[in-house]
Amino acid sequence: MTLEEFLIARRDAGRSLLVPYVTGGIRPGWTDVVRAYVDAGADAVEVGFPFSDPMLDGVTIQEASDRAIAGGATVAGILAELAALDVAVPLFAMTYSNLVFQRSGAAFCAALRASGLRGLIVPDSPLEEVGELAGAAAAEGLDLALMAAPSSSPARLREIAGRSRGFVYAVTRMGTTGEGGGTSPAVARLGRDLKGLTDRPVLFGFGVSDPARAAELAGHADGVVVASALMRRLLDGTGPRELGEYVASIRRALDHREPDEQYAPLPRHRRRPDRQDQVGPLPRG
Amino acid sequence: MTLEEFLIARRDAGRSLLVPYVTGGIRPGWTDVVRAYVDAGADAVEVGFPFSDPMLDGVTIQEASDRAIAGGATVAGILAELAALDVAVPLFAMTYSNLVFQRSGAAFCAALRASGLRGLIVPDSPLEEVGELAGAAAAEGLDLALMAAPSSSPARLREIAGRSRGFVYAVTRMGTTGEGGGTSPAVARLGRDLKGLTDRPVLFGFGVSDPARAAELAGHADGVVVASALMRRLLDGTGPRELGEYVASIRRALDHREPDEQYAPLPRHRRRPDRQDQVGPLPRG
Amino acid sequence: MSEHALMSDPGTTGRFGDYGGRYVPESLIPACHEIEAAFRDAWADPGFRDRLTTTLTVYAGRPTPLTPARRLSRELGITLLLKREDLAHTGSHKINNVVGQALLAERMGRRRLLAETGAGQHGVATATAAALLGLEATVFMGERDIERQELNVRRMNVLGAEVVPVTTGSRTLKDACNEAMRHWVASVDDSYYCVGSVMGPHPYPWMVREFQRVIGEEARVQCGAELPAGVPDYVVACVGGGSNAAGTFAGFVGTTARLVGVEAEGGAAATSGRAGVLHGYRSLVLQDEHGQVREAHSIAAGLDYPGIGPEHAHLRDGGRARYATVTDDEVVRALVRLARTEGILAALESSHALAWVIRAAETGAVAPGSTVMLTLSGRGDKDIAAIKELP
Amino acid sequence: MSEHALMSDPGTTGRFGDYGGRYVPESLIPACHEIEAAFRDAWADPGFRDRLTTTLTVYAGRPTPLTPARRLSRELGITLLLKREDLAHTGSHKINNVVGQALLAERMGRRRLLAETGAGQHGVATATAAALLGLEATVFMGERDIERQELNVRRMNVLGAEVVPVTTGSRTLKDACNEAMRHWVASVDDSYYCVGSVMGPHPYPWMVREFQRVIGEEARVQCGAELPAGVPDYVVACVGGGSNAAGTFAGFVGTTARLVGVEAEGGAAATSGRAGVLHGYRSLVLQDEHGQVREAHSIAAGLDYPGIGPEHAHLRDGGRARYATVTDDEVVRALVRLARTEGILAALESSHALAWVIRAAETGAVAPGSTVMLTLSGRGDKDIAAIKELP
Ligand SMILES: Cc1ncc(COP(=O)(O)O)c(C=O)c1O
Ligand SMILES: Cc1ncc(COP(=O)(O)O)c(C=O)c1O
């Protein structure tokens, strides 16, 4: 199953999707964090490959990246650890273009696939730069997710929704990753617009800082990505078990959220058949 | 007797003229220094009226001036002390134009005369600026001495020799007051030239630092002005008595100097009669 | 690619061969499009061009002279002409670019300029242009650079700009760029990001080169009047991000002049960099084997940048320009030598170009009798404290 | 005296009315005569004039622009034009004079320039001109100024000049002048004393004014193009020794423009000075009741001078120019205000002129709608450290 198939299946089962994030190599034994996330009810896990100049990240993920790099984290090292990890939900990579294009997009995608990852997201490769990489990802059966922003025009949203794979990453605000920030009508609108354009899961990210906020945002889409709130705790010394408990608390909030009055459920698009021929299990290890 | 008459009389008596200098107000009781000079055989005494910006003075006289000013020395104060002083040789003032022209050259000269001084020398009033002052000095019966320099052209030397009163102050070098420096052929030439132009005494100044040097220079003219060598000692704490002894040692060197081979005595000019009508005792106090 | 196509309009993709592009988050894409459209519109508008030219002339002191370095030329056996950007207002070529961008920001209705700065030269220039037009200015500057360049921080404050210390990463220029981008994402509606060199996402590398083109165009005309051949044998400029070099080369790319860009040995992206993506564009970037961007090190704060403008990467690949490096030591010696032969205190950045010319003339790599046009990108007053020992 | 005779050749006596002259030791008289003769000869020689003009143009960045201060003008309700000497090489009008004198020294066969300096601006300019012509430079600078202006000392050293600390008197500019004169006496055969303002013995006040005349002449032509009336209502410049003011006034003395020189309250020789003789000339001098010269005090090191050029004293006496003072406080506020309205960091010295214009416009002393041409004598980068608190 691809990342996208996996997420759609869960969503279609009536579940709000929860994707926690961890910076690869942030501490020894960091893969325990991935396991704890999964055990706590994650539907997928986003693994950050730390880059020295993370343009779209706020202070927390910057610090996490710096710490991982200082600790010797490399793409190859993180991939080796992930290859040894066996978890029940798909993992995907988040990183910046410079790491992706070290050799080539194809080489990078092949390495991800060889380590069992199911997708990737590259915040500084927008639509206009993503062509080659999208081909390479597709060739490796990886889902390359694209980001949509409150500033994206309707035409761009349509193109993003159409070209994104796995899910669409909708950023809740004009700004960097980081905790805090309320829900604005614009966010609700972005969720609604995207869901009107695609049947792919739409996940909100940026500022999903606690269970209540997660539940609120999930009301406008199919789920959330939680990153800085977890990394802040991890940087402050919180261990995998407690991180897992925190993810579980978000899981509970998502599972029991009150029906949101503002959120009028939209008719589901028919699943698009265009990539069915690519489906199949990825090799591991 | 004017300053000039006094000096000519002494010179004509075969004496090498010795003019020691003291900065007015340099220490309490500084007039004792004048007395000590006179007792030690001075033929006249040059009294400096300290100015904040003594352009032609080297470090020693600058320091003496600064000390005197810091101690409260003023033109009026120095004149008052001089008025109370009764010595057997003429005194004359040395100062800069700014003090002379505070009110006017005439007022300054009148004040000098009222305190018994017989002349003045103003290093920063050269021929081209001296006109008004020369008239004022003459009107008060004071001798305004001019300076001649190694750089002065023959034409200028002639004019300086002609317009100087009291004596001609020949500077031994292109530079400021201060000790040290050898005799150059140029100095000998300057002395000879001036003596060829005037019957007025020609005194060398600048760098007359010890008895031997005084004797040597006196061989090229009619005598010497000694300033920095004395002020250096005074600033270092030497008292009037010892200063007097030092002046006496110069006196002895002048009196017993060997005939200088380089110095071919020149025919004396006839004394010029042009100022005889001005001769007469100056009032004192 | 024909010579003529070099240094022309890179089109909507902003590509210079393999380099350039627009590697920024989706949130910034609309802003980049808007700026590109506004710039295309302004650049085609004689009214805008007039206003820019007038401001550069009446306010910033253009045209800057082309000074024959007579005594140094004699010593080196060549003819060396100096394009005097050190005489431009604020003391470097940076003003050409910020005046252009500030006028554009005003035209676009923006109230605030954002900028990154390393040594502070671009920050001062931005603060200056903002004051001139009554805009606000926020300048991001690494905490370490703030300590090292206190005077420029103070200049910006006096000019009314806010200087925001950047405490992330190496706390120098590259982090200030990241932080400016991050801040831009968050304030894109009222703020205009005034990029300081031929870097950043399209249209910046192209637009900044166009705003700096005035250097090369003036110099080309001045060389025509000064040199018997009309065109110099060599055209040399230092390269940090590469804006003064790009503006200079733009005036000579269609001539026979050999173009030479000179980098700091410790910040030589063109020489030791690998292809990569940084700060929104693809180019040659100093990075370690794992793809982490390295900090550049140079005695010239303005060359402490690990990337190079994408167009330079392209010029290098095609061989139209060559890129060389010089050491800190050569640079200081060149600065002092120019000061003592010509009475001109060049910036340490500019002294890189000079150091290369001196070495090349002395080794014969530049043949005796050659004519060399060198862009003196800025004045060295800011650098005096950094010159610890006189050679 | 007719208007026309003002600011013309003061003849062989170097008198401007009661002021000027040549109050120097006999040892220096031949040198003064020689310089006067050489200057008269050079000034009448088209070859010399050409070389001077070319050097100022190709090397020093002349003509400097006349910049309309648009935003400040609007605030003040007047039209304010700034003559941008801050854009001249080395950052102030001082270069105009030293290039002239250095060319003269070279013509006279001298190998070395002597100069006094306070803040270091004239010292740097002298060191610059010396380097340009391959002459040596020895600069006298008060020990206290050396401490306060370390960066300029370093600039001079880099330029190859020898900086001699002056430890006498107040250890500031006036003592440096004395020391330069003393040294000149001792080295008059091979050294040329390059005086830094319209002061010193004849022919300096006249010669320096003539070398600075280029400011006023350019501004006059530029005003003609810029202003409907052709001539501004006011022409304003700061006055230390008075060279930038003299050069400026020289271009307008024959017009209807009102001439205003602005001094520092703590160094206001034209306002609080008495006639006296200092540094070789007769003029208005700050002095105590006993005739001892007072130290001037100003936040602007370049105005810390107790005298004023003799021609200014004469212009004042005749009423052709008036002289005003401003306080340190007003000056700092003016500097910051110009920085924030126009993006120009003026020197503290120049900010005196500006402070007067601001006050006069705000009190109505300069009527609304008036046109004011102000000489911005130099750039303020050197002064940033002195501005402790932003108003
Ligand atoms: C004087 C000077 N020259 C050169 C540079 C390098 O920039 P660029 O390569 O964009 O011209 C700088 C940057 O601060 C600078 O200040
Ligand atoms: C910038 C500037 N303006 C003015 C002055 C004052 O000199 P002047 O009155 O001779 O123009 C100085 C002297 O150092 C200066 O540096």
Would you kindly state where each structural domain of chain C is located, as residue ranges? Answer: 17-55+94-204, 61-92+213-386
What tens digit of pLDDT does each residue of D275-312 get? 999 999 999 999 999 999 998 989 998 998 999 999 99
Residue B281, domain member (yes or no):
no
What's residue C391's pLDDT? 72
Domain at D17-55+94-204: CATH code: 3.40.50.1100
What distance in Å separates residue A86's CA from the closest CA in chain C?
A: 26
Query: Going by beta carbons, is chain A in contact with chain B, meaning 3 or more pairs sit under 8 Å apart?
Result: no
CA of C305, nearest ligand number: 1
pLDDT by residue for chain C (391 residues), tens digit each? 444 479 999 999 999 999 999 999 999 999 999 999 999 999 999 999 999 999 999 999 999 999 999 999 999 999 999 999 999 999 999 999 999 999 999 999 999 999 999 989 999 999 999 999 999 999 999 999 998 888 999 999 999 999 999 998 888 899 999 999 999 988 988 999 999 999 999 999 999 999 999 999 999 999 999 999 999 999 999 999 999 999 999 999 999 999 999 999 988 999 999 999 999 999 999 999 999 999 898 999 899 899 999 999 999 999 999 999 999 999 999 999 999 999 999 999 999 999 999 999 999 999 999 999 999 999 999 999 888 777 7
Best CA proximity match to A165, nearest among A95, A221, A241, A92: A92
Minimal-distance CA residue to ligand 1 atom 10: C243
Q: Is C379 in the pocket of ligand 1 (CB under 6 A)?
A: no
| Residues 6 or more apart whose Cβ sits within 8 Å of residue A160 | A127, A146, A147, A148, A152, A168, C26
Residue A175, domain member (yes or no):
yes
* Cβ of residue D37 closer than 8 Å to a chain B Cβ: no
Question: SS3 of B128, please?
Answer: helix
* Cβ of residue D342 closer than 8 Å to a chain C Cβ: yes
Residue D33 has pLDDT above 50, yes or no: yes
| Residues 6 or more apart whose Cβ sits within 8 Å of residue D40 | D203
What's residue D370's pLDDT? 98
What tens digit of pLDDT does each residue of B71-92 get? 999 999 999 999 999 999 999 9
CA D310/CA A25 separation, integer angstroms:
78
Residue A177, domain member (yes or no):
yes
CA C15/CA A13 separation, integer angstroms:
45
Q: Which residue has the tokens 């408990």?
A: A245
CA of D264, nearest ligand number: 2
Residue B278 has pLDDT above 80, yes or no: no
Mark D214-250 as b/e (b = at least 16 C-beta within 10 Å).
bbbbbbbebbeebbeeebbbbbbbbbbbbbbbbbbbb
What's residue D50's pLDDT? 98
What tens digit of pLDDT does each residue of D139-150 get? 999 999 998 888
Residue B261, domain member (yes or no):
no
What tens digit of pLDDT does each residue of D149-177 get? 889 999 999 999 999 999 988 888 999 99
Minimal-distance CA residue to ligand 2 atom 5: D302
What's residue A178's pLDDT? 82
What's residue B182's pLDDT? 65
Give CA torsion, residues D269, D274, D275, D281, to 10 deg: -30
What's residue A261's pLDDT? 39
CA A48/CA D63 separation, integer angstroms:
59
Q: Quick count: other Cβ atoms within 10 Å of Cβ C263?
A: 29
* Cβ of residue A98 closer than 8 Å to a chain C Cβ: yes
Please state, in angstroms and as integers, the Cα–Cα distance from residue A165 to each residue in A8, A97, A137, A197, A200, following that order: 11, 18, 10, 13, 8
What's residue A74's pLDDT? 98
Best CA proximity match to A172, nearest among A217, A212, A123: A217
Domains C17-55+94-204 and C61-92+213-386 share a fold: yes
Q: Is C377 in the pocket of ligand 1 (CB under 6 A)?
A: yes
What distance in Å separates residue D296's CA from the closest CA in chain B?
A: 13
Q: Which residue has the tokens 């370095």?
A: C69
What's residue A182's pLDDT? 65
Geometric angle at alpha carbon A34, from A28 and A37, rounded to 5° = 135
The boundaries of the domain holding residue B111 are 3-256
The answer to whether residue A57 is catalytic is yes
Contacts across the B-D interface (CB distance below 8 Å) = 122
**D387/C158 CB distance under 8 A:** yes
**A62/C22 CB distance under 8 A:** no
Write out chain D in H/E/C secondary structure: CCHHHCCCCCCCCCEECCEECCCCCHHHHHHHHHHHHHHHHHHCCHHHHHHHHHHHHHHCCCCCCEEECHHHHHHHCCEEEEEEHHHCHHHECHHHHHHHHHHHHHHCCCCEEEEEECCCHHHHHHHHHHHHHCCEEEEEEEHHHHHHCHHHHHHHHHCCCEEEEECCCCCCHHHHHHHHHHHHHHHCCCEEECCCCCCCCCCHHHHHHHHHHHHHHHHHHHHHHHCCCCCCCEEEEECCCCHHHHHHHHHHCCCCCEEEEEEEHHHCHHHHCEEEEECCEEEEECECCCCCECCCCCCCHHHCCCECCHHHHHHHHHCCEEEEEECHHHHHHHHHHHHHHHCCCECHHHHHHHHHHHHHHHHCCCCCCCEEEEEECEECHHHHHHCCCCC
Residue A275, domain member (yes or no):
no
Catalytic residue numbers of C?
94, 116, 377
* Cβ of residue C11 closer than 8 Å to a chain A Cβ: no
Q: Which amino acid does the sequence have at B158?
A: R
What number of residues does chain D have?
Answer: 391
What tens digit of pLDDT does each residue of A49-88 get? 999 999 999 999 999 999 999 999 999 999 999 999 999 9
Q: What total of structural domains would you count in chain B?
A: 1
Write out chain C in H/E/C secondary structure: CCHHHCCCCCCCCCEECCEECCCCCHHHHHHHHHHHHHHHHHHCCHHHHHHHHHHHHHHCCCCCCEEECHHHHHHHCCEEEEEEHHHCHHHECHHHHHHHHHHHHHHCCCCEEEEEECCCHHHHHHHHHHHHHCCEEEEEEEHHHHHHCHHHHHHHHHCCCEEEEECCCCCCHHHHHHHHHHHHHHHCCCEEECCCCCCCCCCHHHHHHHHHHHHHHHHHHHHHHHCCCCCCCEEEEECCCCHHHHHHHHHHCCCCCEEEEEEEHHHCHHHHCEEEEECCEEEEECECCCCCECCCCCCCHHHCCCECCHHHHHHHHHCCEEEEEECHHHHHHHHHHHHHHHCCCECHHHHHHHHHHHHHHHHCCCCCCCEEEEEECEECHHHHHHCCCCC
- Residues D346 and D335 sit within 8 Å (Cβ to Cβ): yes
Best CA proximity match to B145, nearest among B155, B133, B128, B153: B133
Number of H helices, E strands in chain B: 12, 8
What tens digit of pLDDT does each residue of B117-158 get? 999 999 999 999 999 999 999 999 999 999 999 999 999 999
What's residue A179's pLDDT? 75
- Residues C333 and C351 sit within 8 Å (Cβ to Cβ): no
Backbone φ and ψ of D370, nearest 5°:
-65, 155
Query: What is the average pLDDT value for chain D, to the nearest integer?
Result: 95
Q: Is ipTM strictly over 0.90?
A: yes
Nearest Cβ partner of C131 from D91, D340, D380? D340
What's residue B258's pLDDT? 56
Q: Is C240 in the pocket of ligand 1 (CB under 6 A)?
A: yes
The answer to whether residue A159 is catalytic is no
Best CA proximity match to D350, nearest among D8, D69, D56: D69
- Residues C61 and C87 sit within 8 Å (Cβ to Cβ): yes
Select the more confidently predicted residue: D126 or C390. D126
Between the CA of C349 and the centroid of ligand 1 the distance, in Å, is 6
| CATH class of the domain comprising D61-92+213-386 | alpha beta
| Residues 6 or more apart whose Cβ sits within 8 Å of residue D308 | D239, D241, D242, D263, D269, D270, D273, D283, D284, D285
CA C100/CA C108 separation, integer angstroms:
12
CA C336/CA C339 separation, integer angstroms:
5
Which residue stretches of chain A have pLDDT < 50?
259-285
What's residue B271's pLDDT? 38
Between the CA of C2 and the centroid of ligand 2 the distance, in Å, is 54
CA C360/CA C339 separation, integer angstroms:
19
Q: What is the CATH number of the domain that holds B147?
A: 3.20.20.70
Residue B226 has pLDDT above 90, yes or no: yes
Between the CA of D94 and the centroid of ligand 2 the distance, in Å, is 7
What's residue A258's pLDDT? 56
Q: What is the mean pLDDT of residues B91-116?
A: 97
Strands C274-278, C281-285: parallel, antiparallel or unpaired by DSSP?
antiparallel
Tokens at residue C215, please?
Answer: 């250097």
Count of CA atoms in the C-beta half-sphere (13 A) of D330: 20
What's residue C387's pLDDT? 84
* Cβ of residue C338 closer than 8 Å to a chain D Cβ: no
Residue B268 has pLDDT above 70, yes or no: no
Share of chain B above pLDDT 70, in %: 89
